[in-house]
Amino acid sequence: MKELEQIRREIKKQLDKYRYHHTLGVMYTAAALAMHCEISLEDAMTAGLLHDCAKCIPNDIKIELCKKYEIALTETELQNTALIHPKLGAYLAKSEYGIEKQEIIDAIAYHTTGRPDMTMLEKIIYVADYIEPGRGEAPNLPYVRKLAFENIDQAMYKILDDTLEYLNTRGGVIDPMTEKTHRYYKNLTQEGGILYGTS
């Protein structure tokens, strides 16, 4: 695996200015959550740095690359091309950046839709992507930022809940995996007697 600084230099060339600053925000937020949750700092920073590595590739080229690398795309992903970059990014993390740890690759692959029963690293990247300091438009953001360091499963549920509400309001295409993930964390938090409010 390449050194973090080498990956950072290479990633900077692949992303536009906004996406690069967002990526650094996710990397450092993931680092803070990793320290709090007592998991590998290097893994969290690596996954944060690479989570959007395919984001700025034009959509038609994303689709071509997925065909070339035999990455299966669903109808939902073809309808909403914003959902393609995690799968392609996971592939590129392994093939272009030398990432060998499956947990890092999975954290990249599921950082947009989530999935039921995520690993701690997967949850950290999903949450960090939502709460990093450059984000400002998401609902209930101050509350979710606080919640992330109190109960990450509860934060997952709140983010998924707000995301689905936003997509339903806007008539956006919803990936079935996001709905499955939402149900999973809804059941998990309710079974655990976890309640949340908004600020």
Q: Could you tell me the CA-to-CA distances from 45 to 16, 29, 32, 94 in Å, in that order?
A: 20, 9, 9, 16
Give me the residue spans of the domains in the chain: 4-139
What six digits make up the tokens of 25? 């925000």
Q: What is the pTM of this model?
A: 0.93
Q: Quickly list H helices, the chain.
A: 4-14, 17-37, 41-50, 59-68, 75-79, 85-95, 102-109, 120-131, 141-148, 152-170, 176-191
Q: Model confidence over 125-174: pLDDT tens digits? A: 999 999 999 998 788 999 999 999 999 999 999 999 999 999 999 888 89
Q: How many CB atoms lie within 10 A of CB 117?
A: 9
**CA terminus-to-terminus distance, the chain:** 42
The predicted structure's pLDDT at residue 85: 98
**Per-residue pLDDT at 134:** 94
Mean pLDDT by 10 residues, the chain (199 residues): 90 97 98 98 98 97 98 95 97 97 98 98 98 89 97 97 92 92 94 47
What is the per-residue pLDDT for 192? Answer: 57
Instruction: Report d(CA 58, CA 8) in Å as an integer.
Output: 21
Q: What is the pLDDT of residue 197?
A: 41
DSSP-derived letter for residue 162 is H
Q: Contact 85/66 with Cβ under 8 angstroms?
A: no
The first and second tokens of residue 54, run together, are: 């395919």
Domain 4-139, CATH among 2.60.120.10, 3.40.630.10, 1.10.3210.10, 3.20.80.10: 1.10.3210.10
Task: Provide the pLDDT for residue 191.
Answer: 67
